[in-house]
Amino acid sequence: MAKWSWGVFSKLLQLHNLVRLSIGLSTLAFFLNFGSFNYDHIPLDEIEANLYKHVNPNLKLDPNKPACDYGFIHEPDGPMLEIPTSYDEFLPTGIANGSFLPSHCNPQLSVALLVTYRKRQKQLDIFLPYIHNYLRKQNIHYKIFLIEQQDDAPWNKGALYNIGARLAMDERFPCLVLHDVDLLPRDPRNLYACLQQPRHLSASVDRLRHVLPYWFPERVSRYAMLPHVKQAAVNPRRAALLRQSLPDQRHDGLNSVKHIAMEVKKYRLYTLIGVRL
């Protein structure tokens, strides 16, 4: 077998490094030109003016109380919230069926938090007290719906969100926040509310090295992702299922949700929507 001489190897190494440099510069140029998508966004100092200020019409407000204030979203940077590994004590003051209403003021915002879930009890035990502690300080009316897939069929997150959205809208919530059970907000100024256009709350996640593919205030939208075991394999039929759904996407909407069984149970910290697909 022929052997490479050092001269030939040196030239090949130089060529290899040149190719790597060329690829690196091309990648850098790509990200400089195309790496930041030009999505419409609302600057941080304009968020309060663009809030979708609607409350659930079933809510009974006290005319003797002032309107809740949301000026805290303009406060300067402060310390990030610590992420607990467990909760030894948690006081569910003011919470019933996953719902909370501030006692000292009339909220101007009502939000339904839709959390999809299956077999992640350790994460749920941290998420629920953390998110209640977080949201109770925001002076909003909110309710947590935990939509649990209670079978061993392939995980269908979209269907769970659709089912939860339909029930939340039946309860006349004007704003829906779709949430993962493993994501925790770090900045207290990240107001859980709808704007006049859709909004990505968790644009900056620690497990993704806080890399933003488009402009949104990185610090305000910073989240921590709780550790969990990844699913061993993705659904091998995912591409076929997407192709199959394409003809119906323009008119399907929430009415397309089909499920075998569903039951609703009320617990102190959440309203459970159990689903078998």
Q: Are 233 and 60 a contacting pair, CB within 8 Å?
A: no
> pLDDT of 37-91, one tens digit each?
556 667 788 889 999 999 999 999 999 999 999 999 999 999 999 999 888 889 9
Q: Report the predicted TM-score, pTM, of the whole model to 2 decimal places.
A: 0.78
Between the alpha carbon of residue 14 and those of residues 2, 3, 4, 9, 17, the distances in Å are 21, 18, 15, 9, 5
Q: How does pLDDT run across 222-250, given as a tens digit for each residue?
A: 888 898 666 555 667 767 766 766 665 55
Domains and CATH numbers, the chain: 96-228+252-277 (3.90.550.10)
Specify which of 43-52, 145-154, 211-220 reaches the highest per-range mean pLDDT.
145-154
Q: How high is the pLDDT of residue 140?
A: 98
Whole-number pLDDT of residue 40: 65
pLDDT tens by residue, 126-139: 999 999 999 999 99
Task: Assess whether pLDDT exceeds 60 at residue 155.
Answer: yes
CB 165 within 8 A of CB 176: yes
